[in-house]
């Protein structure tokens, strides 16, 4: 990556509903800003090529690759990271379903999986197995064999359906 | 009269699930230390060369660079699991393209990476060898000229580029062929598979004023990290403390060292904390991968399907360093007879050094490769004799009280139940070839397997805290599979404490008892044994105290749910708090239970078998499995699509059934990737696809949703609550089952992994013509 | 010169910035360019983000039945674009198979087309449709036919300072059917072979035909003469086989990590036949 000596511009990013200042070079990715400047390490760097999905965040509600998003190009967008979903006291229904369904193994893919699932259920509260598999096909998992993750999304979708 | 709610055998959620779904679990890349520098490596551009010198001046001029490390900075110290042949960083020679030859520590990663590229290494290039055949040919250039002088942990048969050679025999194969009515033969070839743990490898080390170093890293054993770093840097082990953050999975790739020795060397050179995180390409080019195998196998049987003889010759590519190669070779040969009664068997193999990245441990440890050959030959024999594929396996399957290849007595063996369960489950769904979608061929295949859990040493410490809760400390690294949960369940069950009253200490070479590692499907079985024994030690001490306090004898006492010790048949009881208070403040001292053990059942019984060059004498107890896989083959393209799988595994006792099931499901998909799409491709010296764009593992859409698992429980007598391992057995039969399903669908017998559309279509067309 | 990053609001402003440096690059969705930057394979000194330029996101039906698609339309949007029906459906199907959903939320028609990866999904679809690529620069606009646009591996006809503003699909008969057949190792991967087929027929007789193949050489493979030879004739296996043969001969595939050249030549006509079968099915059974 190109090394620059000149002062880098300060930008404002909307992350998890709050404005955050970040110092970025043109080539700085959103993933670098989240992890290195803002301490939001829930998004992982698995390949830095947009293939593995470990860095998935929601940009304007849609799953996107933080590693392929230049930070400077994200101003004015609503970014949601895993830190913006649920809380220790109250995990989201998707997060709770991942726990309950046994969908968590090493956990490296989990934040991305959860975010892709949140976005799917927001758009399609009762997805079929086929729709779940398609929606999450951009998130690699090497531990679970995927079945429990599908079960978790199904479980969350049932939980969503309850008043 | 007291009610006991079991904890063992229940699918409690994994201890770390909540922090992981919240994104709060911390992995090595998420860590930071005050004053921390970032390290980066320079990788070699040649595959085999003598290093003549370094010019690091340009790198050192870059503002923000603190140190450059080269082979000149490390002494001639060598590490290795079996043959100590590997230096911390390339020294004197470069042995594979991509090998770390220099490293930089700088203020930030970008600067470190930039500066690393400015280092110049003068080399005298040497001719390389890129296959085991080339490596073992007369006159081949030799990688390790000093091989003879290297320390070896076993009497290795080695020399030149031959890294290890092993032979295991039983009966008299040469004579036995004459007794066979039918003989099948074949040559099989398997490809290198990349572990692709979602987390790339990384390390972070720091040094204190006394020169003592603390090292965190992505690993499967803090103790192996400690041993390897100290061996490769010539440090006394007392100078290095190893810890672990959360680990983003390990499938063998994080057991032996990766970047840790270089990271520590940079910390020693700079006096500063240094963090090194491999990018995906570096992880693919410098860590390790599954061994490519070439296997010649011959199996003979009588007309009634009774197996009589098997002969195996394996040739493995070991890559540039020994790593786990001798172990993988020896283990694969031990597995090559399969879980069958074959009275005459000879399994012979060699592994050679080549100028490629090292090959090493990967879930299955050589077993999936030889099982592909063995299990497809069983089907071929059955077909030729007109015997059902399940029946021939049931007929020849080892039973309780029989012996594994080499002579070890099997004390628990649920293989037959596994076969029957997988059969019943799969047959409950009618196998209709006509159910395949238009343009597809449908087939089913069965494969079975056995695999060990065991090996080497482990320990556990259970301490009763002042308030009567407990803390368990084993040093076993949970790599995501859930051993922290399982070990806690075992401790809680033994001590009758609720799960949330048992804390778990994080692995720490300073404070944890020894644990060889999270590998060999061993943690539940070996560490579990130590946990139960240490917990029982605590139980004994609790009872001793309570007996004195209640004026009775320990044998009259029992532990009760919730952390009470009471007199049998009476309501009289004490909370652990009272016992622990007495121990802490009055009599005897704090209650600490300990246990350590080493797996000590011999693998070879000279009355039954013989072995030479086998690098381990005491391997483990046996788990078993059977699976049926259903596939569709696209007639247009030859692409194979797994549709369903039915799995049954004998795990002795499922401490946490759901975690067992996830191992089976995950093992299937990783095995399916091995069978169908995954391959590290070398063109000569160069790995051409070190990135996830060109290396393809199954996505959620490629993996079948319908993976049906069943747990079979034939208790291992000395296992914790009867448990044995499941981590690897889940992957072992997958390529063979898929091969057999392809044969069922299309009548073709494939012998080379992966089963790409190309190989499948070509074989289908060849059969037609 | 230090790199600079710009987010102009108008196409004219963007074009001026692109003209300011010979290595200036437009940034569309970033799905490819940022990946290359991360791998150290691209270091554009001037990056011009196109995300604020509204006119690049428009889909416009043309009076003659054609369709003009702005360069910044996302793969996801194209994959569910209702106006991509009939023959245009080949592009809709192709868009739905570009990479994986999160990448389809980022990547754009223009960006992917400009990358000109012959194993990617748009090049054959655009070639089969006879699409025209509308290139813009400070010097003006020009329209380039797809088969003149894709030149070589990752190389297209854009001049320095030029970018894709839109892609125009010419009208196809109302009864035309477009299908995209893709063979890949796993979901979301580049194609080993892909077939883009646009077919209109009248009682089993071919009236219009567009066909192009991906993954089989430096650019989308076409066989114009063999395709023309099918016009006015009944669709039969022999005719499809002849077209498949002609495409296989026109193909110039290589051995790579996905498959061998031989296999690609072997499977191409087989997949073509399958594409014809699917294109001839009633709409509901087409998938």
| Per-residue confidence (pLDDT) for residue C3, from 0 to 100 | 87
Q: How many CB atoms lie within 10 A of CB A18?
A: 8
Q: Which two tokens stand for residue B660?
A: 């067992």
Q: Is residue A5 part of a domain?
A: no
A108: closest CA among B378, B201, B91, B232?
Answer: B201
Assign residue A30 the CATH number of its domain: 3.10.20.30
Give the gap in angstroms from C-alpha C106 to the nearest C-alpha of chain A.
Answer: 7
CA distances to B46, B466, B648, C137, C144 from C22, in Å: 35, 73, 63, 12, 21
Give the gap in angstroms from C-alpha C244 to the nearest C-alpha of chain A.
Answer: 31
Asked if residue A78 and residue A16 are part of one domain, the reply reads: yes
Mutate to test the interface with A, among C102, C111, C190 (most CBs of A within 10 A): C102
| Per-residue confidence (pLDDT) for residue A163, from 0 to 100 | 46
Identify the domain boundary among A28, A57, A83.
A83
| Per-residue confidence (pLDDT) for residue C282, from 0 to 100 | 87
User: For residue range A100-124, what is the model confidence (pLDDT) as tens digits?
Assistant: 999 999 999 999 999 999 999 999 9
Residues B89, B86: Cα–Cα separation, whole Å: 8
Of A4, A69, A135, the CB nearest to C101: A135
Cross-chain residue pair C31–A65, CB shorter than 8 Å = yes
Q: Is residue A88 part of a domain?
A: no
User: For residue range B571-601, what is the model confidence (pLDDT) as tens digits?
Assistant: 999 999 999 999 999 999 999 999 999 999 9
Q: Is residue A119 part of a domain?
A: yes
Cβ pair B349, B166 in contact under 8 A: yes
Cross-chain residue pair C3–A134, CB shorter than 8 Å = no
Q: Tell me the DSSP string of chain C.
A: ---EEE--SSHHHHHHHHHTSTT-EEESS-TTHHHHHHTTS---SEEEE-TT-GGGG-EEE-TTS-EEEETT-BHHHHHT-TT--GGGHHHHHHHTTSS-HHHHTT-BHHHHHHHT-TTSSHHHHHHHHT-EEEEEETTEEEEEEHHHHEEETTEESPPTT-EEEEEEEPP--TT-EEEEEEE-SSTTSPPSEEEEEEEEEETTEEEEEEEEEESSSSS-B--HHHHHHHTTSB--HHHHHHHHHHHHHH------SS--HHHHHHHHHHHHHHHHHHHTS-GGGG-
**Cβ–Cβ contact A42 with C under 8 A:** no
**B449: helix, coil or strand?**
strand
User: For residue range C84-129, what is the model confidence (pLDDT) as tens digits?
Assistant: 999 999 999 999 999 999 999 999 999 999 999 999 999 999 999 9
Whose tokens are 């002579």? That residue is B407
Which residues, at least 6 apart from B218, have a Cβ–Cβ distance to it below 8 Å?
A: B27, B28, B197, B199, B200, B201, B202, B203, B244, B245, B247, B248, B250, B254, B258
Asked if residue A99 and residue A157 are part of one domain, the reply reads: yes
Strands B162-170 vs B65-70: parallel, antiparallel or unpaired: unpaired
User: For residue range C169-202, what is the model confidence (pLDDT) as tens digits?
Assistant: 999 999 999 999 999 999 999 999 999 999 999 9
ipTM, 2 dp: 0.97
Cross-chain residue pair B636–C260, CB shorter than 8 Å = no
| Per-residue confidence (pLDDT) for residue A2, from 0 to 100 | 44
Cross-chain residue pair C187–B758, CB shorter than 8 Å = no
Cross-chain residue pair A53–C7, CB shorter than 8 Å = no
Give the gap in angstroms from C-alpha B605 to the nearest C-alpha of chain C.
Answer: 46
Residue A3 has pLDDT above 80, yes or no: no
**B725: helix, coil or strand?**
coil
Residues B615, B331: Cα–Cα separation, whole Å: 9
Identify the domain boundary among A32, A60, A83.
A83
| Residue-range definition of the domain harbouring residue A143 | 93-161
Neighbours of chain B (3+ CB pairs under 8 A): A, C
pLDDT-derived band at A1 (thresholds 50, 70, 90) equals: very low
0.90 exceeded by the pTM? Answer: yes
Whose tokens are 């809760």? That residue is B469
Residues B171, B180: Cα–Cα separation, whole Å: 14
Total domains, chain A: 2
Asked if residue A126 and residue A103 are part of one domain, the reply reads: yes
Of A42, A99, A147, the CB nearest to B665: A147
Asked if residue A65 and residue A99 are part of one domain, the reply reads: no
| Per-residue confidence (pLDDT) for residue B5, from 0 to 100 | 94
**Cβ–Cβ contact A77 with C under 8 A:** no
| Per-residue confidence (pLDDT) for residue A160, from 0 to 100 | 63
Assign residue A100 the CATH number of its domain: 1.10.150.120
**In which region does residue B35 sit, left (phi positive, over 0), alpha (psi from -120 to 50) or beta (all else)?**
left
B692 → chain A, closest CA residue: A51
Contacts with A64 from chain C: Cβ below 8 Å: 102, 105-106
Asked if residue A104 and residue A57 are part of one domain, the reply reads: no
Contacts with C3 from chain A: Cβ below 8 Å: 2, 4, 25-27
Q: What are phi and psi of A95, to 5 degrees?
A: -60, -45
CA distances to B104, B120, B231 from B270, in Å: 10, 21, 20
Give the gap in angstroms from C-alpha C270 to the nearest C-alpha of chain A.
Answer: 27
**A98: helix, coil or strand?**
helix
Which sign does the torsion angle of CA B113, B119, B120, B124 carry?
negative
Q: Is residue A150 part of a domain?
A: yes
Mean pLDDT of A25-52: 97
Identify the domain boundary among A53, A83, A113.
A83
Q: What are phi and psi of B562, to 5 degrees?
A: 95, -5
Asked if residue A77 and residue A32 are part of one domain, the reply reads: yes
Asked if residue A19 and residue A76 are part of one domain, the reply reads: yes
Give the gap in angstroms from C-alpha C31 to the nearest C-alpha of chain A.
Answer: 6
Contacts with A139 from chain C: Cβ below 8 Å: 102
Mean pLDDT of A11-21: 97
Asked if residue A110 and residue A65 are part of one domain, the reply reads: no
Cβ pair B335, B450 in contact under 8 A: yes
Of C3, C4, C38, the CB nearest to A49: C38
Q: Is residue A111 part of a domain?
A: yes
B200 → chain A, closest CA residue: A46
| Per-residue confidence (pLDDT) for residue B678, from 0 to 100 | 98
Asked if residue A114 and residue A73 are part of one domain, the reply reads: no
Contacts with B691 from chain A: Cβ below 8 Å: 47, 49, 51
**What is the interface size between A and C, counted as CB pairs within 8 Å?**
96
pLDDT-derived band at C37 (thresholds 50, 70, 90) equals: very high
Asked if residue A105 and residue A77 are part of one domain, the reply reads: no
Of A86, A114, A133, the CB nearest to B700: A133
CA distances to B124, B255, C111 from B80, in Å: 26, 12, 48
Q: Which residues of chain B have pLDDT under 70?
A: 1
Cross-chain residue pair B22–A91, CB shorter than 8 Å = yes
Residues C176, C221: Cα–Cα separation, whole Å: 21
Of C183, C189, C190, the CB nearest to B757: C183
Q: Tell me the DSSP string of B267-320.
A: HHHHSS-EEEE--HHHHHHHS-EEPPEEEEEEEEE-TTS-EEEEEEEEEEEEES
| Per-residue confidence (pLDDT) for residue B727, from 0 to 100 | 96
Contacts with A1 from chain B: Cβ below 8 Å: 110, 113-114
**What is the interface size between A and B, counted as CB pairs within 8 Å?**
187
Residues B454, B599: Cα–Cα separation, whole Å: 6
Cβ pair B451, B729 in contact under 8 A: yes
Whose tokens are 């390390």? That residue is B203
H or E stretch at B623: strand B621-634
Residue C82, Cα to own-chain centre: how many angstroms?
Answer: 18
Cross-chain residue pair C267–B756, CB shorter than 8 Å = no
Instruction: Spell C93-111 as b/e; 16+ CB within 10 A means b.
Output: bbbbbbbbbbbbbbbbbbb
Q: Is residue A145 part of a domain?
A: yes
Asked if residue A117 and residue A65 are part of one domain, the reply reads: no
Residues B88, B74: Cα–Cα separation, whole Å: 7
Cross-chain residue pair A133–B705, CB shorter than 8 Å = yes
B656 → chain A, closest CA residue: A102
**Cβ–Cβ contact A110 with C under 8 A:** no
Give the gap in angstroms from C-alpha B115 to the nearest C-alpha of chain A.
Answer: 11
Of C27, C49, C100, the CB nearest to A138: C100
Secondary structure of B53-76 as H, E, C letters? EEECHHHHHCCCEEEEEEHHHCCC
Asked if residue A106 and residue A77 are part of one domain, the reply reads: no
Instruction: Supply the DSSP symbol for B28.
Output: G
Across the beta sheet with B564-567, what order do the strands follow?
B557-560, B564-567, B573-575
Of A1, A114, A137, the CB nearest to B21: A114
| Per-residue confidence (pLDDT) for residue B220, from 0 to 100 | 98
Give the gap in angstroms from C-alpha B445 to the nearest C-alpha of chain A.
Answer: 20
Whether the ω angle into residue B703 lies within 30 degrees of 0, i.e. cis, is no
Contacts with B24 from chain A: Cβ below 8 Å: 42, 83, 88
Which residues, at least 6 apart from B678, have a Cβ–Cβ distance to it below 8 Å?
A: B191, B193, B194, B196, B695, B696, B697, B754
**B3: helix, coil or strand?**
coil
Cross-chain residue pair A26–C5, CB shorter than 8 Å = yes
CA distances to B13, B93, B306, C165 from A101, in Å: 8, 51, 44, 47
Cross-chain residue pair C101–A134, CB shorter than 8 Å = yes
Of B695, B701, B756, the CB nearest to C187: B701
**Cβ–Cβ contact A53 with C under 8 A:** yes
Q: Is residue A49 part of a domain?
A: yes
Cβ pair B664, A146 in contact under 8 A: no
Residues B500, C102: Cα–Cα separation, whole Å: 39
pLDDT-derived band at C283 (thresholds 50, 70, 90) equals: confident
Mutate to test the interface with C, among B638, B673, B696 (most CBs of C within 10 A): B696
Residues C133, C68: Cα–Cα separation, whole Å: 10
Contacts with C96 from chain B: Cβ below 8 Å: none
Q: Is residue A33 part of a domain?
A: yes
Residues B519, B362: Cα–Cα separation, whole Å: 9
Which residues, at least 6 apart from C131, have a Cβ–Cβ distance to it below 8 Å?
A: C145, C146, C167, C168, C169, C170
């Amino acid at each position: 990556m190109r090394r620059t000596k000149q002062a880098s511009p300060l930008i404002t990013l909307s992350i998890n509903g709050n404005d955050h200042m970040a110092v970025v070079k043109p080539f700085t990715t959103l993933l670098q800003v989240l992890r290195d400047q803002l301490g939001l390490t829930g998004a992982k760097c698995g390949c830095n090529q947009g293939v593995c999905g470990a860095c998935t965040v929601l940009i304007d509600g849609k799953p996107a690759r933080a590693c392929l998003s230049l930070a400077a190009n994200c101003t004015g967008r609503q970014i949601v990271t895993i830190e913006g979903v649920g809380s220790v006291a109250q995990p989201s229904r998707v997060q709770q379903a991942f726990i309950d369904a046994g969908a968590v193994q090493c956990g490296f893919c989990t934040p991305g999986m959860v975010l892709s699932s949140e976005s799917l259920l927001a758009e399609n509260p009762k997805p079929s197995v086929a729709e779940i598999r398609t929606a999450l096909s951009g998130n690699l998992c090497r531990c679970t064999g995927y079945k429990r993750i599908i079960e978790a999304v199904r479980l969350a979708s049932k939980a969503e359906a309850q008043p | 009269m007291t009610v006991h709610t079991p904890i063992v055998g229940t699918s409690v959620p994994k201890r770390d699930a909540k922090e992981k779904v919240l994104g709060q679990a911390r992995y090595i890349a998420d860590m930071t230390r005050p004053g921390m520098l970032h390290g980066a490596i320079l990788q070699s551009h040649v595959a085999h060369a003598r290093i003549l010198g370094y010019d690091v001046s340009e790198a050192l001029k870059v503002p923000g660079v603190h140190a450059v490390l080269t082979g000149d900075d490390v002494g001639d110290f060598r590490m290795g699991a079996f043959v100590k042949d590997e230096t911390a960083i390339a020294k004197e020679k470069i042995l594979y393209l991509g090998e770390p030859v220099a490293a930089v520590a700088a203020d930030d990663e970008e600067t470190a990476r930039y500066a690393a590229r400015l280092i110049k290494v003068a080399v005298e290039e040497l001719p390389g060898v890129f296959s085991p055949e080339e490596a073992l040919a007369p006159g081949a250039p030799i990688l390790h000229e000093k091989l003879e002088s290297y320390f070896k942990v076993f009497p290795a048969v080695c020399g030149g580029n031959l890294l290890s050679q092993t032979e295991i025999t039983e009966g008299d194969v040469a004579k036995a062929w004459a007794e066979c009515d039918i003989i099948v033969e074949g040559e099989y070839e398997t490809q290198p598979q990349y572990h692709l743990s979602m987390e790339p490898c990384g390390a972070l080390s720091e040094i204190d004023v006394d020169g003592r170093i603390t090292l965190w890293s992505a690993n499967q054993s803090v103790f192996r990290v400690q041993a390897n770093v100290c061996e490769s840097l010539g440090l006394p082990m007392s100078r290095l403390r190893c810890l672990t953050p959360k680990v983003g999975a390990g499938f063998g790739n994080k057991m032996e060292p990766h970047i840790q020795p270089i990271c520590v060397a940079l910390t020693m050179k700079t006096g500063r904390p240094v963090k090194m995180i491999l990018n995906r390409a570096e992880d693919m080019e410098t860590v390790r991968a599954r061994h490519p195998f070439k296997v010649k196998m011959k199996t003979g049987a009588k007309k009634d399907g009774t197996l009589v003889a098997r002969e195996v010759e394996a040739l493995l590519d070991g890559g540039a360093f020994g790593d786990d190669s001798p172990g993988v070779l020896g283990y694969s040969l031990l597995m090559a007879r399969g879980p069958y009664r074959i009275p005459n068997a000879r399994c012979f193999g060699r592994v050679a050094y080549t100028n490629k990245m090292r090959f090493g441990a990967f879930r299955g440890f050589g077993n999936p490769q030889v099982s592909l050959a063995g299990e497809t030959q069983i089907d071929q024999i059955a077909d030729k004799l007109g015997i059902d594929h399940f029946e021939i396996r049931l007929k020849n399957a080892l039973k309780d009280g029989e012996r594994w290849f080499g002579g070890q007595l099997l004390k628990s063996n649920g293989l037959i139940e596994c076969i029957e369960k997988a059969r019943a489950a799969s047959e409950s769904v009618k196998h209709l070839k006509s159910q395949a979608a238009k343009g597809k061929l449908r087939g089913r295949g069965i494969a079975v397997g056995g695999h060990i859990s065991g090996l080497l040493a482990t320990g556990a410490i259970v301490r009763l805290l002042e308030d009567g809760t407990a803390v368990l400390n084993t040093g076993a690294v949970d790599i995501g599979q859930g051993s922290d949960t399982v070990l806690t369940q075992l401790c809680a069950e033994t001590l009758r404490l609720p799960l949330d009253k048992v804390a778990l200490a994080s692995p720490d070479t300073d404070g944890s008892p020894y644990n060889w590692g999270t590998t060999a499907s061993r943690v539940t079985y070996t560490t579990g044994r130590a946990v139960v024994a240490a917990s029982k030690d605590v139980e004994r001490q609790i009872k001793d105290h309570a007996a004195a306090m209640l004026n009775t004898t320990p044998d009259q006492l029992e532990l009760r749910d919730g952390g009470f010790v009471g007199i049998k048949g009476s309501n009289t009881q004490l909370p652990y708090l009272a016992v622990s208070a007495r121990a802490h403040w009055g009599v005897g001292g704090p209650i600490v239970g300990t246990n350590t053990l080493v797996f000590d059942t011999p693998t070879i019984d000279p009355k039954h078998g013989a072995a030479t060059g086998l690098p381990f004498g005491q391997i483990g107890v046996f788990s078993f499995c059977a699976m049926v896989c259903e596939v569709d083959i696209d007639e247009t393209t030859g692409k194979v699509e797994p549709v369903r799988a039915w799995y049954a595994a004998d795990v002795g006792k499922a401490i946490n059934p759901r975690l067992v099931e996830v191992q089976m499901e995950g093992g299937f998909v990783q095995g399916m990737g091995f069978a169908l799409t995954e391959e590290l491709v070398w063109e000569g010296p160069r790995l051409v696809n070190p990135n996830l764009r060109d290396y393809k593992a199954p996505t959620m859409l490629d993996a079948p949703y319908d993976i049906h698992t069943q747990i079979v429980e034939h208790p291992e007598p000395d296992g914790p609550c009867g448990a044995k391992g499941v981590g690897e057995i889940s992957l072992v039969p997958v390529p063979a089952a898929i091969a057999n399903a392809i044969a069922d669908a299309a009548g073709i017998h494939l012998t080379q992994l992966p089963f790409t559309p190309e190989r499948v279509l070509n074989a289908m067309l060849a059969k037609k013509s | 010169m230090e790199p600079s990053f710009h987010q102009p609001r108008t196409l004219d402003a963007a074009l001026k910035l692109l003209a300011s440096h010979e290595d200036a690059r437009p940034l569309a969705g970033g799905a490819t360019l940022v990946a290359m930057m991360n791998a150290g394979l691209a270091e554009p000194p001037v990056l011009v983000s196109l995300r604020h330029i509204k006119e690049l996101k428009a889909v416009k039906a043309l009076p003659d039945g054609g369709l003009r698609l702005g360069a910044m339309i996302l793969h996801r949007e194209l994959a569910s674009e209702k106006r991509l029906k009939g023959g245009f459906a080949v592009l809709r199907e192709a868009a739905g198979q570009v990479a994986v959903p999160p990448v389809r939320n980022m990547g754009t028609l223009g960006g992917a087309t400009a990358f000109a990866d012959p194993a990617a999904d748009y090049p054959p679809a655009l070639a089969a449709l006879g699409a025209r690529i509308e290139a813009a620069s400070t010097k003006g606009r020009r329209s380039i036919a797809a088969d003149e646009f894709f030149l070589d591996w990752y190389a297209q006809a854009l001049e320095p300072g030029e970018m894709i503003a839109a892609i125009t699909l010419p009208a196809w008969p109302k009864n035309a059917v477009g299908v995209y057949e893709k063979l890949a190792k796993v979901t979301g991967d580049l194609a080993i072979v892909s077939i883009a087929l646009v077919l209109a027929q009248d009682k089993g007789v071919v009236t219009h035909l567009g066909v192009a193949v991906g993954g089989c050489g430096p650019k989308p493979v076409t066989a114009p003469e063999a395709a023309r030879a099918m016009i006015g004739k009944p669709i039969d296996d022999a005719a499809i086989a002849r077209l498949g043969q002609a495409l296989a001969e026109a193909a110039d595939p290589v051995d790579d990590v996905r498959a061998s050249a031989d296999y690609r030549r072997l499977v191409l006509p087989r997949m073509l036949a399958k594409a014809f079968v699917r294109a001839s099915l009633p709409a509901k059974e087409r998938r």
